[in-house]
Amino acid sequence: MTSNNSQIPQRILMGPGPSNVHPRVLEAMSHSMIGHLDPIFLEIMDENMKLLRQVFGTKNRLTLPISATGSAGMEATLCNLIEPDDDVLVCVNGVFGMRMSDIVDRYGGNLHTVDAPWGRIIDPQDVADKLKDIVKPKLIAIVHVETSTGILQPLVEIAELAKAHDALLVVDCVTSLCGTPVNLDELGIDAAYSGTQKCMSCPPGLSPVSFSKRAINAIHNRSTKVTSWYLDMGMISKYWGDDRVYHHTAPISMNYALNESLKIVCEEGLDTRYRRHSLHSQALADGLSALGIERIAQEGFRAPMLTSVSVPDDVDEAKVRNQLLHTYNIEIGAGLGTLKGKAWRIGLMGETCRRENVIGLLTALGEILPERSAAEAVQTAENVYNTSK
């Protein structure tokens, strides 16, 4: 059976990404095609870099969208900074810390890890203890919001440890950017990467990255070539810089979309956007608790845009997700790795992060799950909204 655009439904995307996209962003993608070196497109590139610096909280000149998804941003930051036999410490408490570890190993770094149970933060003391055994760490890599568990990792103490050991700090901001403060310059983060499809509410396809002066110096002082030609920031920076040296054909329409989505973010205001994510996350969590569904992430360190919950013992988790999708048009995510079959991952990101979506999901779950009260769940969430006024 073949499909066409008229058969594609309008889903409420409440999984771990992508999120729903604002109509202005979809309209921007339909603008006329122009060349990737057209003066108008070059202006859009410059504005995208400026807007990305604003949401990243940085003055880093080398801040731009990689022409690929967030996983390419992860690889770009690591492959540019790691040379064979560099000592690299990766913090692992979920799928994406594991993925960073794999990339470090593939590029020939000496991999060291600090591990924590899934759903728990990385303890800075464990990082400090591990660093005692590493003579000269090249970099420390950590995930800000671990999408597999919904953990929000505090970064201040980790950043202080990186500075004390003269190590570069690399942070995965794929899920956190535009949903909770990132503040690269304030924290002293040397390299960060994200994705457009989460709290930025842009379609997937670009990966914003940012490199500090220290990181750029490390790239320039390499003794070996960057292994990846496509992700070599030395060449990519010349394309995005004043020289506009041809490297690849940038995805024109995706940059239109990014430009519009960043304007929407800045029109709302970052602080307002952060408060919105926190409010709806709390309403969702309290409503889920009324349904007997509890959060997995460590209390006090729960991400506002991604809520990971344990599936009740009497519930077929895949069947419920299927019912939500086909009966209520709501998508939520399944568990990954050690949480496969045991968890749901519920996203409230960007455009999806709205009161009507919280109430809609709680109502649907209350109707689907045995012996649960949709009315009680909804009222519990409404209490959060009423007390926030």
DSSP string, 6-45: GG----EE-SSSPPP--HHHHHHHTSPP--TT-HHHHHHH
Instruction: Give dist(CA 350, CA 178) in Å, integer.
Output: 8
DSSP 110-146: EEEEEE--TTSPPPHHHHHHHHTT-SSEEEEEEESEE
Give the model confidence (pLDDT) of 289-344 as tens digits: 999 999 999 999 999 999 999 999 999 999 999 999 999 999 999 999 999 999 99
Exposed, middle or buried by CB within 10 Å (0-12, 13-18, 19+), for 79? buried
What is the C-alpha to C-alpha distance for residues 294 and 289, in angstroms, rounded to an integer? 5
pTM: 0.96
pLDDT value of position 278: 98
Domains, the chain, with CATH or none: 11-15+270-387 (3.90.1150.10), 23-266 (3.40.640.10)
Q: Hey, what amino acid is at 246?
A: Y
Task: Taking the CA atoms of 103, 105, 108 and 109 in sequence, report the sign of the dihedral they define.
Answer: positive
Q: How much is the average pLDDT of 168-187? A: 98
The mean pLDDT of the chain is 96
Question: What whole-number percentage of the chain has pLDDT above 90?
Answer: 95
